[in-house]
A and B are shown apart, each in its own frame.
Chain A
């Protein structure tokens, strides 16, 4: 295996709605910031990969337009996943294993404000049994939340405690759009929207983008004083139908975590792509984290959820903390599909 590390990470100042900038305009300063961090020129990047969703903008091949943020002349080697950019990072990691290029730039972006995200996500569901009923994104999540509470004996208060901790952590994150001090009592006074979930259990609608730069062995050491080495990365998927799964657990997360070696040593911090409060508890169990690990120090997706960049941001946030000396070993998790269908786990370490 070729050693690969995260050597730069930049993200937009996320907002609930950015009506004045298109995707390219949103991305360009973030790309520039990441390249500057790494001290690299555009032409030095060996491979580019992006993650986005055409349904957000409502036009086909919108990701091609976004390439203007990178500049595709002279020709570049480039790919795209119609998925969270955490999977674009996975593709870039695989690409770097070939050994002919030693840097890769990964970006993800999404403007959830343009349409009705909760119904756009319905369009990812099977067209025979699910989509005709129009279960929205929060309804699907709420079914999993109830299954989790039923199976574990936990309560809506446990969900509220996740929100309290997330908002407190987000207070020191300049990119968070939901942050601050609150209490479980205050949150529980709020009416449920789709019970057992409240608005506070759900991620905010967010426009934003993120960029990660990867580099191999010697190049990484030349670029960064303390690269965040990807010591393990794996992704696993479960059946699409939520009716055939045990919704109280995340088998695919546990499998990916095992193969990535998440539990092989002490975990200092974990960034999880848990869009809903109960997902954090389910993923935390699946990753096998003990109480010593700091969970979502950025505030996580409950603080800012730029769809298609949110998973990549988990890897970037974890890597930034490793590189800054805020920990020696981190686990980053990304998720895709309804009710945690598809999960990616990466283990990041400093030297």
Chain B
């Protein structure tokens, strides 16, 4: 620091790929994210009959490919049940809500797995495992997991 003792030197440094950086989400994840734009929740059925929500391109038990046939995709929700949760007393700036909220794994109706999202329940006492919840949609939706603003008690 030398002569500038006490003075913090800050340099902004932005690193960008020329032309931007794009990822393809593929036919399975993409199907789910695209559905969110229309307030549609979709799961994918594994060969063993388990419905994964959010969908994955493979069966977590057997690694078998899933979602290769149109009939493998099934509508789920919109309501679901909380399978586990955590109460955030002081949200971080990047958290989905700026007031105390719960993280919850939510098993949507018709699904066999849990999806992580925020649950706007007001107080910790209002949250319990097994409670029913429903999505609160954003007015503007772009095909992103955050098209669901959060879940709320049903």
Contact = CB atoms under 8 A, between A and B. Distances in A.
Q: Do A and B actually bind?
A: yes
Interface of A: 118-119, 127-130, 132-136, 139, 142-147, 150, 191-197, 238-239, 241-245, 247
B124 interface: yes
Contacts of B86: 139, 142-143, 145-146, 194-197
Contacts of A139: 86, 88, 103
Contact of A192 (B23, B89, B96, B116): B89
Given A134-B92, A147-B83, A142 B116 contact: no
A147 B23 contact: no
Given A135-B116, A142-B103, A192-B89, A247 B146 contact: no
B33 A133 contact: no
Given A134-B95, A150-B129, 10 more contacts: A128-B54, A133-B118, A135-B103, A147-B83, A194-B88, A238-B60, A239-B56, A241-B56, A242-B116, A243-B113
B87 to A, nearest CB: 4
A114 to B, nearest CB: 15
A132 B150 CA distance: 13
Contacts of A132: 144-146
A30 to B, nearest CB: 28
Contacts of A136: 92, 95
A4 B88 CA distance: 46
Contacts, number: 98
B139 to A, nearest CB: 18
A247 B85 CA distance: 12
A334 B100 CA distance: 33
Nearest to B86: A142
Q: Which 3 A-B pairs have the closest CB atoms?
A: A243-B114, A142-B86, A239-B60
Contacts of A145: 86
A243 B106 CA distance: 8
Contacts of B94: 119, 134
26 contacts: A118-B92, A129-B116, A132-B145, A133-B117, A133-B118, A133-B145, A134-B94, A136-B92, A139-B86, A139-B103, A143-B85, A143-B86, A144-B84, A145-B86, A194-B86, A194-B88, A194-B103, A195-B86, A195-B87, A241-B54, A242-B105, A242-B116, A243-B113, A243-B115, A244-B60, A244-B113
A243 B83 CA distance: 9
A201 B96 CA distance: 24
Interface residues of B, number: 35
Given A119-B92, A139-B103, A243 B116 contact: yes
A192 B87 CA distance: 9
Nearest to B90: A193
Contacts of A244: 52, 56, 60, 113-114
Contact of B103 (A127, A143, A238, A245): A143
A129 B145 contact: yes
A134 B113 CA distance: 20
Interface in B10-69: 23, 25, 29, 33, 52-54, 56, 60
Which of the listed residues B52, B92, B113 has the most CB atoms from chain A within 10 Å of its own CB?
Answer: B92
Contact of A129 (B92, B96, B115, B124): B115
Contacts of B95: 133-134, 136
Given A132-B146, A244-B60, A147 B25 contact: no
Contacts of A135: 103, 116
